Chains A and B, each alone.
Chain A
Amino acid sequence: AQSVTQPDIHITVSEGASLELRCNYSYGATPYLFWYVQSPGQGLQLLLKYFSGDTLVQGIKGFEAEFKRSQSSFNLRKPSVHWSDAAEYFCAVGTNNAGNMLTFGGGTRLMVKP
C-alpha cells in the first residue's frame, strides 16, 4: 500500500523568503503526485500535479515541485512567500488502482511572518 509522509507539521517563514515543503512517498510503481492547499475554512485547491515527463512541475500561485524518484520525494517550493500563502499544504499520491484513491500526507501548516 502507498503512503505519504510530510515531516514538517508546522513551518514559519518570513514574507519574501523562500519556501520548501517536504514530501516523501512510498509506492512500488510510478506514482501520480499532487500538492493541494487548504486555506482556513476552505476546501482543497489543486496547486500542481505530476504524472510523467519533466520532473520539475509548475503550478499555480508561483509554486513548483520536483519529482525525485531516487529519493521518493516530491518537494514543493516557492521562491518568495506572500502573506496570503499562509495555509495548510497536503501532498498526495494517486495510483492506477480501480479506486482512484488519493493517499494524503498529514499536512504542513505554513505560517508567514510579516
Chain B
Amino acid sequence: EAQVTQNPRYLITVTGKKLTVTCSQNMNHEYMSWYRQDPGLGLRQIYYSMNVEVTDKGDVPEGYKVSRKEKRNFPLILESPSPNQTSLYFCASSNGQARTQYFGPGTRLLVL
C-alpha cells in the first residue's frame, strides 16, 4: 500500500531534550516536506526537500532541522525543543509533477 508513515504518533517531552520524528514514504517520490498544524492557522511548511541531499526552508523553519540521506526518509529534528513547538506535525511527499502531496497520519508533540 502506498503510504507515508510517521513515528512516533504521539510524543511528550521536556524543553531542551533533543528529539527526532521520522518520516518514510514508499512511493519513490522525490519531493518531501514537513508541515506543522496549529488551530486557526492551517498547515505551515517547515522544510522541504526536492531530492536526496537537497533541502530548503519553508515558511517556519526556526528551531528545526532536517536531513535527506535516502530518498524514502526525511526526519525532522528538534535539537532543543521549546513549548512553542507544541503542535501537530505532518510529513508529506509528492512526485513533483503532479503537485499533489500525500500526507502522513501526523505526530502530536507536546513540549513541557
Contact = CB atoms under 8 A, between A and B. Distances in A.
Interface residues of B, number: 26
Contacts of A102: 43, 45, 92, 101
Contact of A4 (B42, B92, B96): B42
A43 B96 contact: no
Interface residues of A, number: 25
Contacts of B100: 34, 46, 49
Interface string A45-70: 11001010000000000000000000
Interface string B80-102: 00000000001010101001111
Interface stretch (B13-21, B69-77, B103-111): B103-111
Contacts of A92: 42-43
B96 A107 contact: no
Contacts of B43: 44, 90, 92, 102, 104
Interface of B: 31, 33, 35, 40-45, 48, 50, 56, 58-59, 90, 92, 94, 96, 99-106
Given A43-B90, A104-B35, 11 more contacts: A9-B40, A32-B99, A42-B105, A45-B103, A94-B99, A100-B48, A100-B96, A100-B101, A101-B45, A102-B43, A106-B40
